[in-house]
């Protein structure tokens, strides 16, 4: 059977099916069945939709109920959370409050501890670790010297040449006859030696020179004339330089009060010399006027000195603090009264125009002047001792003290014998100091200084920042390592201040400083102080 027969049969079958469908539509039977099927499906869909709506409504009811329950649970949970958060915040506030209280207590405790340490450090300050003089340190221990004990008895040693008291030129001589029992005895013979013993006494003799000259009167004009008196003889009673020097020395050098000076003069002269308090008070003014030219010469001498010492000290004028700038060399001293220290105190002093090497402490106003500057190691030594006592955990202070002792000892050897100076040895000392300051840097980096005690740290900072100012004496042996020369002169002002408590005027303080300039300069030259004062008081008034 061929393929086209099969296709024809299939085609005829499909035609038959389509014809049957057409007849069903034409007769209405198919439409009726389709309509019945549609209503049946629609009813089924309506039932299913109604069921689904009911299920959806129930689901919505359940959802609302669940949501309500969830809201209630969340609201309850939120309330519980808020309550817990509030309780936690209250606990946190209480904890923070306790922490703050604890921090404040610890801070206060630490601050009180540091204050207590600071007070203890101030109590421990004395002449050995600060600028306080030993006389101002009550109940201080014995000041030991640096001599090594040898075990020998004090005094002259066997074989040592005897040094007796100075023999004086006798004004009277009494010969004591030997006892007759020695003269006529057979067992005694003269040795040829004479034994001399002197008794020295002092007598104050009041010498009064009286000048008398007749007076003439002009009968026409009434003018009265007489021969001129010697220069300086003006008043009915005139005291010469010996009396003035005596009173001035008691009051301004021995720091005796005006009343006691007057009483002493009267008693020692058996009532012959009874000067007034005003006479004694005016001596400072007179002495200052007569030594103006000499003080100007001292000023120029200090300006030209290769090495100059300078320092400030304090006094009181009319109840307020005043200062004195002191400039000195080995043979000249200048005291100048100033209302304040610092830059204002330097004005008008030799330091202001000085161009040499200046030795002083760490006063900033003094360091600005001079081509070179040497810091006083005596001050550094005291600061180092104070630091060693108050910063026991640090070790650099002790090494610095040892370095200062060794370096100054080497300088003393070089001063006594300049030929032994070796620059390499000096450089070794300088390198050692640099190493000590590096050690201090490490110690303060690990353990910073206390806010109540910074002396040790400030000393380290100054030495580090101005290193060359602390080793100049090693590079130039002509420069001393300390400012003790000016410090010793400053003590003279402090002693006078302790005696008078307060000068009445700046002029009085200034005149006292003028007098101390001449007194200390004369003492530095080795002059007899009393004779020097007499000579200057006896100068003519026109010597300025």
SS3 of 307, please?
strand
Q: Token match 């550094």: residue?
A: 380
In angstroms, rounded to a whole number, what is the distance separating the alpha carbons of residues 414 and 475? 11
Residue 435: which H helix or E strand, with range?
helix 423-446
Contact 331, 523 (CB under 8 A): no
In angstroms, rounded to a whole number, what is the distance separating the alpha carbons of residues 259 and 160? 48
Residue 294: which H helix or E strand, with range?
helix 292-303
Contact 280, 259 (CB under 8 A): no
Contact 288, 310 (CB under 8 A): no
Contact 325, 346 (CB under 8 A): yes
In angstroms, rounded to a whole number, what is the distance separating the alpha carbons of residues 458 and 380? 11
User: From residue 4, how far is each of 11, 13, 16, 17, 18 by CA, in Å?
Assistant: 10, 14, 19, 20, 21
For residue 380, the number of C-alpha atoms closer than 13 Å in the C-beta half-sphere is: 33
In angstroms, rounded to a whole number, what is the distance separating the alpha carbons of residues 437 and 356? 28
Contact 118, 453 (CB under 8 A): yes
Supply 261's token pair. 């000076």
Threshold 0.75, pTM exceeds: no
Ordered per-residue pLDDT tens for the chain, 544 residues = 456 667 777 777 788 777 777 776 677 776 777 777 778 888 888 888 888 888 888 888 888 888 888 888 888 888 888 888 888 888 888 888 888 888 888 888 877 877 777 777 666 666 666 666 665 665 555 556 666 677 788 777 787 777 777 888 888 899 888 888 888 777 888 888 888 888 988 888 888 999 999 988 988 888 999 899 888 888 888 899 999 999 999 999 998 999 999 999 999 988 889 999 999 999 999 999 999 999 999 999 999 999 999 999 988 998 889 999 999 999 999 999 998 888 999 999 999 999 999 999 888 899 889 999 999 999 899 888 888 888 888 899 999 999 999 999 999 888 877 777 778 888 999 999 999 999 999 999 988 887 777 888 999 999 999 999 999 999 998 999 999 999 999 988 888 888 888 888 899 999 999 999 999 999 999 999 999 999 999 887 544 4
Which phi and psi (to 5°) does residue 415 adopt?
-65, -40
């Amino acid at each position: 059977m061929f393929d086209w027969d099969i296709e024809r049969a299939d085609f005829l079958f499909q035609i038959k099916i389509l014809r049957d469908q057409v007849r069903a539509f034409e007769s209405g039977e198919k439409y009726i069945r389709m309509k019945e099927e549609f209503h049946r499906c629609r009813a089924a869909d309506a039932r299913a939709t109604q069921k689904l709506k009911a299920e959806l409504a129930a689901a919505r009811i359940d959802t609302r109920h669940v949501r309500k329950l969830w809201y209630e649970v969340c609201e309850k949970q939120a309330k519980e959370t808020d309550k817990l958060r509030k309780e936690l915040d209250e606990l946190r506030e209480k904890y923070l409050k306790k922490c703050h209280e604890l921090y404040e207590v610890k801070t206060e405790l630490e601050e009180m501890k540091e204050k207590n340490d600071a007070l203890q450090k101030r109590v421990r300050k004395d002449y050995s670790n600060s600028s306080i003089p030993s006389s101002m340190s009550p109940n201080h221990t014995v000041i030991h010297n640096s001599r090594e004990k040898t075990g020998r008895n004090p005094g002259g040693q066997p074989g040592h040449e005897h040094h007796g008291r100075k023999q004086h030129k006798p004004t009277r001589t009494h010969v004591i006859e030997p006892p007759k029992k020695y003269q006529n005895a057979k067992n005694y013979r003269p040795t040829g030696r004479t034994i001399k013993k002197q008794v020295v006494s002092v007598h104050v003799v009041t010498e009064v020179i009286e000048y008398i000259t007749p007076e003439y009167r002009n009968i026409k004009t009434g003018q009265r004339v007489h021969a001129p008196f010697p220069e300086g003889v003006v008043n009915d009673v005139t005291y010469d330089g010996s009396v003035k020097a005596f009173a001035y020395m008691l009051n301004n050098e021995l720091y005796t009060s005006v009343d006691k000076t007057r009483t002493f003069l009267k008693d020692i002269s058996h009532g012959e010399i009874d000067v007034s308090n005003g006479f004694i008070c005016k001596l400072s003014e007179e002495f200052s006027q007569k030594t103006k030219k000499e003080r100007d010469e001292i000023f120029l001498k200090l300006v030209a000195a290769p090495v100059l010492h300078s320092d400030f000290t304090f006094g009181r004028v009319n109840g307020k603090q005043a200062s004195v700038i002191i400039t000195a060399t080995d043979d000249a001293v200048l005291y100048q009264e100033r209302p304040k220290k610092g830059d204002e105190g330097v004005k008008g002093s030799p330091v202001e125009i000085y161009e040499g090497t200046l030795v002083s402490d760490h006063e900033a106003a003094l360091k600005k002047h001079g081509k070179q500057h040497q810091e006083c190691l005596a001050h550094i030594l005291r600061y180092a001792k104070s630091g060693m006592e108050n910063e026991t955990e640090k070790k650099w202070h002790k090494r610095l003290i040892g370095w200062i002792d060794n370096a100054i000892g080497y300088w003393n050897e070089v001063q006594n014998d300049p030929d032994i100076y070796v620059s390499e040895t000096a450089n070794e000392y300088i390198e050692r100091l640099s190493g000590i300051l590096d050690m201090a840097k490490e110690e303060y980096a690990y353990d910073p200084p206390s806010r109540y005690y910074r002396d040790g740290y400030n000393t380290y900072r100054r030495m580090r920042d101005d290193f060359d100012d602390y080793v100049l004496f090693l590079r130039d042996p002509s420069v001393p390592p300390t400012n003790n020369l000016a410090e010793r002169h400053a003590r003279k002002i402090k002693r006078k201040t302790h005696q008078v408590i307060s000068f009445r005027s700046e002029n009085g303080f200034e005149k006292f400083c003028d007098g101390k300039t001449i007194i200390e300069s004369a003492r530095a030259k080795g002059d007899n102080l009393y004779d020097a004062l007499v000579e200057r008081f006896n100068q003519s008034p026109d010597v300025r």
